Structure 1
Amino acid sequence: MFGFIVNRESGNGYGKKVWSQVESTVVKRNIKYVVRFTERPMHAKEIVAELLEKDVETIIVIGGDGTIHEVVNGLVYKNVSLGIIPAGSGNDFARCLGVPLAYEKALERIFENRPQQVDLLNLGERYSLTVAGIGFDGQVAKNVNEALYKKYLNFFRLGSLSYAISVLDTLRTYKPTNMQITVDGKKLDFADVWLAAAANTTTYGGGIKISPLSSHTDGKLDICVVHGLRRGKLIRLLPKAFKGKHISAKEVTLLKGEDIYISSDPPVLVQSDGEQVKQTPLHITVEKRALTLV
């Protein structure tokens, strides 16, 4: 039996439209299912606990990265697979997994039932699917989630532009900081850090390839540190990140490991899967093969 968790508000109401079409297909195929709708922040995780008691074999999320983030935190190491039908503004995890953005094709992928086990980031208080962004990224996530323009862009299915607009807005006032990053016991000091991204997947922010060498199945996390450059050069560097070409710059340092500790002076914001989660210091480890996806 399928268990659907639907965020009707995702993508400024797009989730509701997608569910209407998906439900029609499921009914036509005589597939047994149960559906629950999210009503508040962190409700999706509560719904997961309920569905796990209903003998569901697959929990399918119709929503964006934030909703998927909540569901994953209830499914870690559970014997139930996760299906994704993207209906958000960024849909980064779907992109990284090769999940089609068109709901019809995403549903067919789930019907094919080809499970794979993937890694997650463990942030201590929660798990993450894609990237934990520290510093500039954290501030951008805060700004974009509070911005009025996000709703209007979502209405026209242009939600990925929200992140780009917030980047430009945040650039005006954000100041870099000093960070100490410890990877598998090795300490490194970085001055004037704009951002550090601990990545399990290649992209975030609606398709920015912040860590183009990352893999969600290799048992490692990749860390991209952007540091030691002036604001003007950062502005010129950022467009290259959409194709992953920023990593060749001398001001970009790439690290790889399983256990990461990041501190900064002063503390800076941290975002995960597009949601603001905390401030530094931050301890991150990789959870290998912690989630089954179809």
Structure 2
Amino acid sequence: MIGIVFNPVTFSGKSVDRMKHFLGILDERGVEYTYRETTCEGDAVRIAAELAETCDIIVPAGGDGTVYETVNGAISKDPTFMILPFGSGNDIARSVGVNGLSDEELADILLAGKTRPMDYLVSDGKASMVYVSFGIVVNIIRDFKDPNNARKSYNSTVLASVRRSRPRRYRIRTPTMDRELSADFISTQNTATAGGGMVITAEAKDDDGKMDLVIIEHKNVVRKYLNILALNKGKVSKQPNAIVERTEWEEITPLDGIEWYSVDGELLTTNGLRVDICGKQMRVICP
């Protein structure tokens, strides 16, 4: 049985008609499914857990945040996941290879049922498929979520976030590293992209049993802005102040107190975090 979890406010509500169209395709083909919509933040966790009791295929329909909640609700039952890229970011769908496809193509892929393994990260007991991040990008996400910035342009919001950002001190531990440093940005990547297709490290693979740790050490204000330009060009991991390591686990300890961080677009706080690649991969339906 197929269980579909749709977030109707994803992509500012612009995907509601698309969801109706996709369900119409399934109806025309005589596909049996259970369909549920979320009503509030965190609702996909509860819905996915309920669907996973009777469904062996779970389909989150929305952006990366919807996928994050759905996976965390259902993964203990070990279902197969199919991503419907109906959000604005869609980095998981991009990595799987289903972003940018038509509804008919997505239905074909779902019904064909071809699967492949996919890694996922585990931090603080939660699964994530894209990233765990600290620093400037987290501040940008916080500002975009602030209703007071709703009428501001993308560029003005980003520039304001960057101006206010200050380097933070961390202790970073991996199997081959143990050091304290000052950083503008830290991201642990399961996929190559984040933030709606922005390349963080092109070498990242989502099925190699490793995660890619990218640290941008703080040097000076000029270099901070150069790093933002490089981030927009997909070259941040190639900067002279970048540290990149492929690893199976890491520990990130903020040394300046409790700090905000982001997991697949969700905002959380921590005074120390361990991130692992889960030893058991999930199954995703792919082209």
Fold match (TM-score > 0.5): yes
**How far apart are the structure 1 equivalents of 2:243 and 2:156?**
25
**How far apart are the structure 1 equivalents of 2:156 and 2:64?**
19
1:189 CA displacement: 2.0
Is 1:45 equivalent to 2:45 in the alignment? yes
CA deviations over 1:76-123 (Å, ceiling 9, x no partner): 253321111111121111112211233413332222211111111111
**Unpaired runs of at least 5, structure 1:** 154-160
Is 1:263 equivalent to 2:263 in the alignment? no
1:203 CA displacement: 0.8
Q: Output the amino acid matched with 1:213.
A: E
Residues 118, 288 of structure 1: 8 Å contact kept: no
Instruction: Give the match's secondary structure for 1:229.
Output: coil
Is 1:68 equivalent to 2:58 in the alignment? no
1:245 CA displacement: 2.1
**Unpaired runs of at least 5, structure 2:** none
**How far apart are the structure 2 equivalents of 1:282 and 1:20?**
40
**How far apart are the structure 2 equivalents of 1:22 and 1:3?**
14
Specify the alignment match of 2:95 in structure 1.
Answer: 96
Instruction: Give the match's secondary structure for 2:279.
Output: strand
Specify the alignment match of 2:26 in structure 1.
Answer: 26
- Mean Cα deviation higher: 284-293 or 193-202: 284-293
Instruction: Give the match's secondary structure for 1:288.
Output: coil
Instruction: Give the match's secondary structure for 1:39.
Output: coil
Specify the alignment match of 1:171 in structure 2.
Answer: 162
**How far apart are the structure 2 equivalents of 1:264 and 1:166?**
25
Q: Output the amino acid matched with 2:33.
A: Y
**How far apart are the structure 2 equivalents of 1:53 and 1:247?**
41
Is 1:284 equivalent to 2:243 in the alignment? no
Q: How does 1:1-294 map to 2 (within 5 A)?
A: 1-54=1-54, 56-104=55-103, 105-147=105-147, 162=154, 166-184=157-175, 186-191=177-182, 193-267=183-257, 268-294=259-285
Give aligned-pair identity as a percent: 23
CA deviations over 1:225-277 (Å, ceiling 9, x no partner): 01132222222232322443232221111112111101122133110101102
1:45 CA displacement: 1.1
1:146 CA displacement: 2.0
CA deviations over 1:158-206 (Å, ceiling 9, x no partner): xxx95x6543221111110121100126312222x10110111111111
Change (3 A) 1:148 1:106: farther
Q: Output the amino acid matched with 1:4.
A: I
Q: Output the amino acid matched with 1:70.
A: E
**How far apart are the structure 2 equivalents of 1:176 and 1:235?**
13
Q: State the Cα RMSD in Å.
A: 2.0
Q: Output the amino acid matched with 2:57.
A: T
Q: Output the amino acid matched with 1:63.
A: G
Number of matched residues? 283
Residues 26, 107 of structure 2: 8 Å contact kept: no
Residues 86, 103 of structure 1: 8 Å contact kept: no
Instruction: Give the match's secondary structure for 1:76.
Output: helix
